[in-house]
Structures are given as structure tokens and as C-alpha cells.
Amino acid sequence: MTFGDGASEKSAMTFDPVHLSAKALAVRRGEGIVVSNVSFAVGPGDALALRGANGAGKTSLLRGVAGFSAIAKGDLAFRLNGAPADLDEARSVLVHYLGHAAGVKTSLTARENGRFWADLFGGGAVDAALTRLGLGGLAASPASIFSAGQKQRLALCRLLIAPRPVWLLDEPSAALDIEGRRLLNMLIAEHRRQGGIVLLATHDANDVPEASVLRVGDGVLSKGVAA
Amino acid sequence: MSAMRAAAAVFRRDLALAFRQGGGGAVALSFFLVTAATAPLALGGARDVLGPIAPGFIWTAAALAALLSLERFFQSDYEEGGLEVLALSPAPLEIVAAAKAGAFWCAALLPLIAASPVIAVLLQMDAAAIAPLMVALLLGAPALSLIGAAAAALAVGVRRGGLLIALMALPLYAPVLIFGAGAVNVAPEAGLASAPMLFLAAYSLFCLAACPVAAGAALRLNLE
């Protein structure tokens, strides 16, 4: 697939429909339960913004969905093409996680990082993704000289290089400049148009306009508010 | 299929990283060479002193050289968030750990094996014992690498965990050292297919079956 102008966007791939639902979910981290009684259901094109105070459990919830933290109670289910999918298998083919640590190998160059993700997840168009994120000129530079924002842009390339329908983003705009945030908004909007799902923990309502908001900490889902 | 491709990607990347800044490849080889080269200085150059202890000495140096570079095995992945990336790859973490152990074997241990004839000469070892030494190192090195992977996975959340890794790995290295040096010592009478040599091969196979599973479980634990 190609990135850039609107014409090629329309011909871009569309994901097989994926549904993700949680019922009365509780996530354990170490000894204690850090977030409990969370329920939501998202489908193709949906975005869910996780809001809440520091320490409310937004990160833990994302890590629980990704399978890093154990699910103590409740149900988490992926449905692919309408049929229930095995949880571990679904995560290994459907899910991208982008956390506080960017997952960028600093001793490799930007392009080598991209190639690695393309090989690891199955994907391609490394240089197109780097260019799209404004790293075209830095493709041959080692990621160790990148600023936090540039590392985050490189990490976002991972989402483009290996297309997967479910994005779990933990404060993805934290290190980004204004231009980077605008780009992130566009990527999320595009991803949703292709039938993707975005779950993101954020303090910035501008990250995902028109997203449902899940207040973590009280487990209440309010639809369509982004204030 | 995609799991194998993912494992190959991890293997290739780790191989490339081993020879970059902070990689383990050169560290293990230099440690191995320096230890063996200084031994004649401390022990004296006499053939009847050095010759008999040479196989055991070379095995000890190889095991310690492996331990020295194990600390970074999963550490940079863990700190930079790479573990999360690997955990969501089509390859289960067990396979990822095995691929990384394979890369470690190639990058850190194969150079040692290649350099071992030089060390054997430095330590006045019998020329006829060089071939058995290299075969034994080839058969035992997978065990060193796989055990190291499991120990490094357990200690990945610990800062400066090198000592902890060494403490966990050394007891499991003991059979490799015992039968590795033994295989070289009995080679003049028993040849290459001696009992210690076969045990060494069996131990490496056992580690191939057990260690990736242990490493995968330990990594999952540390992801919480």
C-alpha cells in the first residue's frame, strides 16, 4: 500500500472486520488489581479514548488488552469476521501496542528498525512510512541520536509498516510537536476509515476527536464526548 | 510460517546488533583471548604444567566469556520497550528466545570456537587434542547459550543483573564444563564419539527443549 495523496488513500486496504469487547474486566499488575469493572465494546472504525487521573489504570488496561498484564476477572474477547478468535492468536496478528517506551532499537538506524518490523510482523513500504512521518532524511541515522519526539515518530512508523487493525496507544502524543500531533490525528482518522480500531490513553481531548470516552477509574462509558 | 519469518528477523537483527556499539560479540572473544593469553604468564610456560589443565582452562574461559555478555541479552529490549514489540509478533516468546539464543551462539560463541586452536597452542596443548576440543566446544556451546537465555530472561527486570544471571547459570553450566573438558581428556583413547562427548550433545539437546520454554515464561512474567 502507498501513503500520501488522497487518491491512493481510497485504494488502500481495508481490514477484515474486528470486534473487541470487554465485560467487567479487572487487570492485575504484580500483586494487586489496578483497574477493575471495565466494560466496553468496539468495532470497525471505532476509537475509544481512555481518560482518567494519573494512576487510574489507563496503561494497565491497555497492557491487559495487549496480554502483557494478567486479566484477573471478567471477559476479553476478539471477534474476527464475526467469529470468536483465540485471544493469544488474535493478539499476535491483530494488535499493535505503542507504550511509553517507544520500542525503538537505538543502536539500529531508522530504516533498520523499519525493516526489522516489516520482517517481524510481515509488512513493507518502510521508506514510504519514514517519509510520511517526516523521517525520510534521517532514514540512515542511528535512532540513538533521535529526540524523544523523533523516536515516537519512528515508533508510529511501526503502525504503518505492518498494518494491523487494533492499535493500543498509550499517550501517543506526549513527546510530539504540533506538526506531529496533526500527523497522529490524520493517521488515526485514516486507520478508522480503513476499519481499524483505536484504543488510546490520553489527557488531550484533541488526540481523537469524535471518539467515545471511557473514564478509567469509575468504569463508566460515555458516548461521543470529547471534552 | 509467519512465526518462522519473525524468528528469522529476530535472529538477523541480534546478529547485526552483536557487532554494534554495546554488542556482546567482541566482548566475549576479547575476554576469552585475554584470559587464555595471561594464563601462561601466571602459571609458567612449562608444557607438563599447562598441557594437562588446558582443556579445563579453555572451557572455564569460554563459560565465563559467555556469562560476561549475557547481561545485555534481553536488557536493551526490556528497557527500550522492544519486549512488547516482540511479545505481539507472530512468533511466541519461546521461539523468540530460541532465536536470540541462536544469534548469541553465532555472534558470541562461534568466534570463541574459531579462536580456540590459537589458545590451545598458547597453552601448549597436544596438537592431536585440538580437533576434539573444537568438536566438544561446538556441541557444548548451544547449552551455554540456551541456559544463558533462560537466566537472562529471569533477571531481565533487575538492574545490573549480571551477577544474578551468573549465579543462576553457573550451576547449570557445571555439566557442560565437566563433560566438555572430559571429552577432550579421553579423546586419545576413546576418540570423538566418547561417552562425555555424547552426553554433551544430549545436554545441549535437553537445553534446546527446556530453556526456550523457561525463557518464554520468564519474559511473560517480566512483562507484567
Pairs of CB atoms within 8 A across A/B = 89
Q: In a structure prediction context, what are the per-residue pLDDT tens digits for chain B, which is 224 residues long?
A: 788 999 999 999 999 888 876 666 788 899 999 998 888 888 887 888 888 889 999 999 999 999 988 888 888 888 888 999 999 999 999 999 999 999 999 999 999 999 999 999 988 888 899 999 999 999 999 999 999 999 999 999 888 888 899 999 999 999 999 999 999 999 888 888 899 999 999 999 999 999 999 999 999 999 88
The Cβ of residue A202 has, within 10 Å, a number of other Cβ atoms equal to 20
Q: How far is A88 from chain B (nearest CA, A)?
A: 9
CA nearest neighbour of A92 among B181, B198, B197, B6: B6
Picking from A62, A105, A199 by the largest number of B CB atoms within 10 A of its own CB, the best residue to mutate is A105
pLDDT value, residue B83 = 93
A148 close to B (CB below 8 A)? no
Cβ separation A70–B224 shorter than 8 A: yes
Cβ separation A116–B22 shorter than 8 A: no
Residues A166-197 have pLDDT tens digits of 999 999 988 889 999 999 999 999 999 999 99
Query: Is the CA virtual torsion B44, B46, B52, B56 positive or negative?
Result: positive
Cβ separation A92–B223 shorter than 8 A: no
Cβ separation A97–B84 shorter than 8 A: yes
A97 close to B (CB below 8 A)? yes
Picking from B85, B220, B223 by the largest number of A CB atoms within 10 A of its own CB, the best residue to mutate is B85
In whole angstroms, give the CA distance from residue B64 to residue B70. 10
Residues B167-205 have pLDDT tens digits of 999 999 999 999 999 999 998 888 888 999 999 999 999
Phi, psi of A159 (to 5 degrees): -65, -30
Q: CB-CB: which of B20, B22, B224 is closest to A69?
A: B224
Residue with cell 583471548: B33
Q: CB-CB: which of B2, B22, B84 is closest to A122?
A: B2
Q: In Å, how far are A4, A189, B6, B91 from A122, measured between CA atoms? A: 21, 23, 8, 11
Residues B49-68 have pLDDT tens digits of 888 889 999 999 999 999 98
B16 close to A (CB below 8 A)? yes
DSSP chain A: ---SSHHHHHTS--PPPEEEEEEEEEEEETTEEEEEEEEEEE-TT-EEEEE-STTSSHHHHHHHHHTSSEEEEEEEEEEETTEEE-HHHHHHHHEEEE-SS----TTSBHHHHHHHHIIIII---HHHHHHHTT-GGGTTSBGGG--HHHHHHHHHHHHHHS--SEEEEESTTTT--HHHHHHHHHHHHHHHHTT-EEEEE-S-TTSSTT-EEEETTTTEEETT---
Q: How far is B168 from chain A (nearest CA, A)?
A: 23
**What residues of B are in contact with residue A102 (Cβ under 8 Å)?**
80-81
**What residues of B are in contact with residue A145 (Cβ under 8 Å)?**
none
Cβ separation A107–B223 shorter than 8 A: no
Query: Is the CA virtual torsion B15, A124, B220, B97 positive or negative?
Result: negative
pTM: 0.89
**What residues of B are in contact with residue A121 (Cβ under 8 Å)?**
6, 89-90
The Cβ of residue A192 has, within 10 Å, a number of other Cβ atoms equal to 19
Q: In a structure prediction context, what are the per-residue pLDDT tens digits for chain A, which is 227 residues long?
A: 444 443 344 445 588 899 999 998 999 887 788 888 889 999 999 999 998 888 888 899 999 999 999 898 899 999 999 899 999 999 999 999 999 888 999 889 999 999 999 999 988 889 999 999 999 899 999 999 999 999 999 999 999 999 999 999 999 988 889 999 999 999 999 999 999 999 999 887 777 777 788 888 754 444 444 33
Q: How far is B88 from chain A (nearest CA, A)?
A: 5
B47 close to A (CB below 8 A)? no
**Rounded to 5 degrees, what angle do the CA atoms B75, B222, A50 make?**
110
- Residue B89: DSSP 8-state: S
Kindly give the pairing relationship between strand A95-98 and strand A166-170: parallel
Checking phi first, is residue A219 left (phi over 0); if not, alpha (psi -120 to 50) or beta?
A: left
Those of residues 116-175 in B touching chain A at CB distance below 8 A are none
In whole angstroms, give the CA distance from residue A37 to residue A215. 12
